[in-house]
Chains A and B, each alone.
Chain A
Amino acid sequence: MKTLKYILLTTIAVFTLASCDQYLDQDPYQEILEERALNSDRGVKMVLLGAYSTMNDQNFYGGLVQTMSELLAGDGEIQFVGTYNGLRQIFAKSTLISSNENARATWLKAYELINICNNVLSAVDIVLPADRGRVEGEARFLRAAAYFELIRLYGNRPYIAGNTSNNEPEWGVPLVLTPTRIISDANKVPRATIQEVYDQIIVDLKEAAAKLPSTNGYFATKGAAQAMLARVYLQMQDYPNARDYADTVIQSNKYSLVPVYANVFNQNEKTTEDIFVNKFTTQTRFSAMTEYWSIPDYGGRDGDIDILNGHLNLYPAGDARRALFFHDNIAWRSGKWNNQYGTVVTIRLAEMYLIRAECNQRLGTSVGDTPLNDINRLCARAGLGDTFYATITLDDILLQRRLELAHEGHKLHDIKRLQLPVGPRPYDHPKLTLPIPEREIQAYLPVILKQNDGY
């Protein structure tokens, strides 16, 4: 009896006093400790892939960046009629305030992308030598893309070549070039000047163009970096550089225009014309361009954006680009975004022809081809016949740019570099720029983060 008692007592005592506190060391299953993410070649490449996923997010290239550009500059051509408060404010502009949720979402997502690229670049020496250049090139390309969208949407003024506003302190966006490991006051980086941000973008893209391969599946390529450089130089009104980079991309013969205009869009895979696209799959997410611009039949919301006659009347008769718009018994809609899991184009070849033509026209040169030929090439593809224009003016080129690239996210940026008004507002009106998100101003306190003039 007593033996049983003592055996029982000892057994329980042993179990109770045995070290239970090892149970308190729990590691997650769905995440990995940060030390283990970047200490191998494979890890760094996985983080690079994560950067693409972030770039693809609906709040960045997945649709919001393009849509905000079109809505801010859309007066008279489109109208936002959906229930999303944030986008309503952006379209109305008069009610756009610093607490706007879309301005906040894109700011945060762009800096998430920048942090991931910084993480990759800080560990690029761990990558196998054969892949090191490519990995570095891809990270720089994505980081440049993030800063380019940030400076164009949140810069306190548009970039105007030669203007002192480019060097005005704190009118750009904060430049962060190292990864974040801990949160401290060192994270409260002040806004750089607009010129400094553009300089960093150029540096990153040139490095990327030098190191990227010519083909790389759906990831960044040499052509993509060069095409992005053409776009950036155009925005900076540096026409010679823009023309030359556009020409390099065209002359590489890696890309060709899709013969039928409608087949440029709503594809499941990238086309011959695509220089850089966003790939969506059912396993990742659906395209926000479909959500905002399309109708429920195609997986869109409720037909949130109406296309007005102010835009539709710009097209000449028989234009295949006009035929891509459709009417759903309520209003006209853009037909470019009807594939919920289809690709969303970032850069395509047609834009390179437009840049080359515009720059040649402005400079009186014919590098690669004459502006007349370049524009007629695009009009021919749009079903308007081989020689739609007999002679060409700058205004013709700018009109064709507006028609060819309609609703792909260029409108606001073209308005700003061409110094055109949007309705009653001039190109540099404070409300044509997004506010620095209120949450950011709050998070920086007591350090003062300068807010844009309109807010």
Chain B
Amino acid sequence: MSGRLNLDSKAREWLDLGLNFSTSVTDLKQINADNAFANPLQLVALAPITPVRDTNGILYDRPTTTYYNTLRHVEYSHRKMNEYRNIANGYMNIKLYEGLQWRNELGYDLYTLKENQKLGELTNDGQNGGFGMSNYGQTQNFVTKSLLNYNGKFNEISIAAVAGTELQYVTIDRTWVTGERFPMDAFITLNSAGSITEGKQTVEKYAMLSYIGRVNADYQEKLLLSISGRIDGSSRFGKNNRYGFFPAASLGYVLTKEEGLKDNPVISFLKPRVSYGKTGNAEIGNYEHLGTFGVATYNNNAGLIPYNISNPDLSWETTDQINAGLDYGFLNNRINGEIDYYVKKTKDLLWRVPVPGVSGHSTMMKNVASVENKGFEFIINTINLTGLIKWNTTINFSYNKNKVTDLAGAEIYDPGSSRFMNVFMVGQPMGVFYGAEFAGVDPTNGDALWYVNGPNGVDSLGNRLTTNQFDQANFVVLGSPMPDKIFSITNSFEFTINGTTIDFSFMFQGVHGNKIHLAGDSYMAASGEWFDNQLRSQLDSWRPDNPNTNVPQARLFYANGTEGRNSRYLEDGSYIKLRNVTFGITLPKSLLSQAKIDRMRLFVTGQNLLTFTKYTGWDPEVSSDFVVSNLRSGVEFYSAPQPRTVIFGINLSF
């Protein structure tokens, strides 16, 4: 639910004043995070023959159910989450001279999150007489801007220029309480908790100060030039290195305004363009450049421990991007679009570098590492039919190659997990999968086999060696979690008859080139190692009467091919989805004018309706929430698939 109010006033001939308010309240319904036993998808692990309720109607739990019964979280808990957003903006625009204006803005953005949860005694976390949690968070974002705007024309050159400063100041408050031992499940506020088990309050602040300048000039609306620069200072960096300078420039040439192409019947628009820009990133914690001690408690007393190692040189991560492109239009722009080629180089990546643990610290925030992204994008819009039935098509295609180019001198950064295989490796995409290569199953005994790879990976005849010992197999690059191709195609139709307009559109969207790590398969396709409910593929496991298969022999409580870091659990993540289908009817004006309605359209939209993919998991688009980061992407672990949605609506205007 949201509302908005805009007030604009011309107080004087030279003075414009304005005030905008907007406010919204959102009610959120969340499910548990992927890695909790209370995640609803975890229910797949229970045997299908598990009884649901006992004779008293109470949901069964362990040991009748193999794992915690998530349905208990649904029936025996309350959770209420609300978000409140209030934004107020005021501006004052003063006309100084002809073409020169001075605009001052003041903005205040207040975001509040309120979350209350009560888990009953029958839930896994509520076994100590219930569990209650109350979380209150507030972010205040205060922005002030002062900008000089100039617009002028000299002969055939138009100039628009901006110069000014901006200050952003953010305060984040958080209060959080948990409690246990409630008299009965019916009590849901923490007032009734017999024992308050955790209470915390935190405050954090950060600020950014910017100086900006930009000049846009065009000659006869044909040659377009833009030059800009900004100096940004962030409180997150060391005193020596707070400010970064970020220039940008672009040049475009509308060829079709030239005499030669002006009246060309085929080419209606042609604009080659080239640009360069430097941007900065400061998205780290608020105090990471300082050497600090934090608080640790023991026996209800608080003490101090070293918290962060200082880095006074900590500074901006920067990305240089060069872009060359062409905007085109043919046949009176009936066919139009854009082609772009770009190279983006990011350096001084802000990253928690591992340091020797014997120092007492395990990481340090530093500017290290470089990453490169190169690719091209291609868009084409076509107006196919314009008569009784209108038909437009838009096709979008992009190709991107991501590569780590430097890791502070190291070849690889591997956090050493036995479950997840994403690493940073020089020459490979970020988060590339690195693990053992599955070589199938030994037909004589059902052992899972791995390719040895590495320097001794082939025998004297050049045949690849295999082993049934997982730690004898050298890790190799197995695939990338990032697709290199992303594309979509949208078709829209419009058909008017007797004043009624029917519109229909559908969009297919897809990606290609990525792999997904089904980390949950370590438990679901576990060859007998776990007591979870198994995927049907396990029925094809090796048996003496079924020797030629890729599914290792099932061995009770024994790890036969089920180690986390191997290619057996990697699948092609490419897909095409029917992302959106919309069907709408706009009623004829004749019908509406009696009710004083300008326009009325009824519509129905379906989202995520169909998926075409070879991926055998639930949804190829989902990344597990508790691991996703720069490093770990493309990992599936009992992640809830995206829902299919159908929306019915009415557009009305008076």
Contacts and interface: CB of A to CB of B under 8 A. Distances in A.
A95 B287 CA distance: 40
Contact of A183 (B14, B309, B412): B309
Nearest to B68: A296
B495 interface: no
B566 interface: no
Contacts of B63: 328-330
A264 B294 CA distance: 35
Contacts of A1: 12
B206 to A, nearest CB: 6
A116 B305 contact: yes
A36 to B, nearest CB: 8
Interface residues of A, number: 87
B628 to A, nearest CB: 19
A200 to B, nearest CB: 14
Nearest to B145: A16
Contact of B304 (A8, A43, A92): A43
A130 interface: no
Interface of A: 1, 5, 8-9, 12, 15-16, 20-21, 23-34, 37, 43, 46-54, 56, 81, 83, 85-86, 88-89, 92, 95, 97-101, 104, 107-108, 111-112, 114-116, 118-119, 174, 176, 179-183, 187-189, 218, 279, 281-284, 296-297, 299, 302, 328-330, 437-440, 442-445
A81 B557 contact: yes
Interface stretch (B257-265, B273-281, B414-422): B414-422
Interface string B403-425: 00000001011111111000000
A187 B355 contact: yes
A111 B360 contact: yes
A188 to B, nearest CB: 6
Contact of A50 (B102, B305, B413): B305
B356 A21 contact: no
B296 A50 contact: yes
Interface residues of B, number: 85
B424 to A, nearest CB: 12
B124 A28 contact: no
A12 B146 contact: yes
B386 interface: no
Interface in B343-365: 354-362, 364
B232 to A, nearest CB: 10
Nearest to A46: B304
A114 B357 CA distance: 11
Given A12-B104, A23-B169, A31-B307, A180 B360 contact: yes
Interface string B513-543: 0000000000100000010000000000000
Contacts of B234: 24
Interface string B467-478: 000110000000
A279 B206 contact: no
B167 interface: yes
A27 B296 contact: no
B187 interface: no
B165 A104 contact: no
B128 interface: yes
A64 to B, nearest CB: 15
A86 B564 CA distance: 11
Given A26-B205, A29-B204, A439-B415, 10 more contacts: A31-B308, A34-B292, A47-B293, A47-B305, A52-B298, A81-B557, A111-B359, A118-B360, A180-B306, A282-B195
A411 to B, nearest CB: 22
B198 interface: yes
B303 A50 contact: yes
B590 interface: no
